[in-house]
């Protein structure tokens, strides 16, 4: 896990563990682990499907966060170093 993710993880208080930001953080962590697994086991299609589901869930949470709290969305995408959503 990269250092910036660890810093973000420890900055989450007990009250915010179910928040949208923390859910996105934990999903990002799982995505990183699954992509490293898939680099070794490229034909593991059940893991690929799980990764797609996690990516979709994270995208939905990012859309929700973008609509409700733009500043928090920008901070989170910068800290986790993930691409921002396309805005029409």
The number of distinct structural domains making up the chain is 1
- Write the CATH number for 41: 1.10.287.10
5 within domain boundaries: no
User: Which residues contact residue 65 at a Cβ distance below 8 angstroms, ignoring those fewer than 6 apart?
Assistant: 20, 21, 24, 72, 73, 76
43 within domain boundaries: yes
87 within domain boundaries: no
pLDDT (tens place) for every residue of the chain, 88 residues total = 555 555 555 565 555 778 899 899 999 999 999 999 999 999 999 999 999 999 999 999 999 999 999 999 999 999 999 999 887 5
9 within domain boundaries: no
24 within domain boundaries: yes
- Residue 85's pLDDT is 87
52 within domain boundaries: yes
Range of the domain at 50: 19-80
10 within domain boundaries: no
36 within domain boundaries: yes
């Amino acid at each position: 896990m990269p250092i910036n993710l660890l810093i973000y993880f420890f900055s989450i208080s007990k009250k915010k563990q179910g928040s949208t930001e923390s859910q996105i953080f934990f999903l990002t962590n799982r995505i990183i682990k699954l992509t490293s697994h898939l680099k070794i086991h490229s034909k593991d299609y059940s893991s690929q499907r799980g990764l797609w589901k996690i990516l979709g869930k994270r995208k939905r949470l990012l859309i929700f966060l973008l609509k409700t709290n733009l500043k928090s969305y920008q901070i989170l995408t910068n800290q986790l170093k993930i691409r921002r959503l396309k805005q029409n």
